[in-house]
Amino acid sequence: MSAAGPVVRMRDVSKVFTSVDGDRFTAVESLDLEVGSGDIVAIVGKTGCGKSTTFNLLLGLEEATTGSIELLGHDPYREFDWFRSKLGVIFQTDRLLPWRTALENARVGLEILDFSEKEQNDIALQWLHKLELQGFEDAYPHELSGGMRQRVGMARAFCLSPEIFFADEAFGHLDQSTARRLREVFLELVTESRKTCLLITHNIHEALEIGSRLVILGRPGRVLADMETPTNATRAEMAEFEDRVLDIIENNEVVG
Ligand SMILES: Nc1ncnc2c1ncn2[C@@H]1O[C@H](COP(=O)(O)OP(=O)(O)O)[C@@H](O)[C@H]1O
Ligand SMILES: [Mg+2]
């Protein structure tokens, strides 16, 4: 962790949604989380436990009901504009613009940031190639497979050289082997960039493959456990670890 403090800091954060009838629903409760510079953290938890809500809070798309959130020392909700290009997001679905080619989709953030047209194309092409999309630069999203579209979405995020990467169920809708390969590519590029990464998933396998640290969320969103992912573990040890994670999720009680 750098002397400047953690890259992500959530303190006693809660998020309560109020319906039009005035019913209150707690999606996140007393959530504490710190992530240091360069950490790759997987956040795992059951569907509906508040993972995406946590992400929306971190991205400044929702305001916390109580508690404080700081990213790079700034409040993502109140200082939304400060974060321009500092956060790279990879969504569950690719969210590409259907009328734009792969290249035009990849460079969209650079256009908004007023990079010259040459820079936009140079940077976008570089990332499309790193993501193994040579030959598909001028293809439209409907001409690409799901995995390839997700790669274009990743290129779009990497183009901005963000400080923090966020991925929310980014591999969830792909077939297992495509998802696995894409996770490898993603992890390689994030590690190479030495940037901080938070990856959200309901898939424990995925969490263990990507994260060096595993944060288990319970329902409503709060940290049940925060642990190092075993390295160089045998298959049996890994299976045991996975069982333990499943138990913690099932029990929905804070460990420690
Ligand atoms: N805008 C909203 N208004 C009301 N309830 C919401 C809203 N967003 C999410 N929720 C509820 O909060 C809970 C957590 O949702 P979410 O964060 O999407 O879970 P996850 O991503 O872990 O599956 C769910 O019960 C969901 O229905
Ligand atoms: Mg979700």
Q: Which ligand is nearest to the CA of 44?
A: 1
Confidence at residue 172, expressed as pLDDT on a 0 to 100 scale: 85
Cα→Cα distances 228→66, 86, 163, Å: 28, 26, 22
Cα separation values, 205 from 19, 184, 200, Å: 35, 13, 12
pTM: 0.92
Distance 130 CA to ligand 2 centre (A): 28
- Summarised one tens digit per residue, pLDDT across range 51-77 is 999 999 999 999 999 999 999 999 999
In angstroms, the CA 87 to CA 72 distance is 10
Burial of 121 (0-12, 13-18, 19+ CB in 10 A): middle
Q: Could you read off the pLDDT of 151-187 as tens digits, one per residue?
A: 999 999 999 999 999 999 999 888 889 999 999 999 9
Strands 87-90 and 66-71: what pairing?
unpaired
Pocket of ligand 1, candidates 53, 56, 168: which has the most ligand atoms within 8 Å of its Cβ, to mutate? 53
The answer to whether residues 152 and 141 touch, using CB atoms and an 8 Å cutoff, is yes
Q: What is the pLDDT of residues 128-151, one digit of tens each?
A: 999 999 999 999 999 999 999 999
| Ligand 1 probe mutation, 16, 17, 18, most atoms within 8 A of CB | 17
Q: Please report the domains of the chain, with CATH numbers, ordered by start residue.
A: 8-86+162-251 (3.40.50.300)
Q: Which residue lies with its CA nearest to atom 18 of ligand 1?
A: 52
Measure 221 CA to ligand 1 centroid, in angstroms.
Answer: 10
Instruction: Please give the structure tokens belonging to residue 26.
Output: 């707690």
Q: How high is the mean pLDDT of the chain?
A: 93
Q: How far is the CA of 55 from the centre of ligand 2 (A)?
A: 9
Q: Indicate which residue's Cα is closest to atom 7 of ligand 1.
A: 17
Which amino acid appears at position 207 of this protein? Answer: A
Residues with Cβ–ion distance below 5 A, ligand 2 = 51-52
Which mutation among 18, 25, 222 tests ligand 1's pocket best, with the greatest number of atoms within 8 A of CB? Answer: 25
CB contact burial 55-66 (16+ within 10 A = b; e otherwise) = bbbbbbebebbe
What percentage of the chain has pLDDT greater than the value 90?
85
Pair 190, 123: CB distance under 8 Å: no
Ligand 1 pocket, CB under 6 A = 17, 25, 27, 45, 47-53
Which of 12-16, 111-115, 207-211 is most confident? 12-16
Report how far residue 1's alpha carbon sits from residue 228's, in angstroms, rounded to the nearest whole number.
Answer: 15
Q: Which atom of ligand 1 is nearest to the CA of 19?
A: 4
Query: How far is it, in rounded angstroms, from Cα 43 to Cα 39?
Result: 12
> In angstroms, what is the span from residue 48 Cα to ligand 2's centroid?
7
Q: Give the containing element (helix H, strand E) for 130.
A: helix 117-130
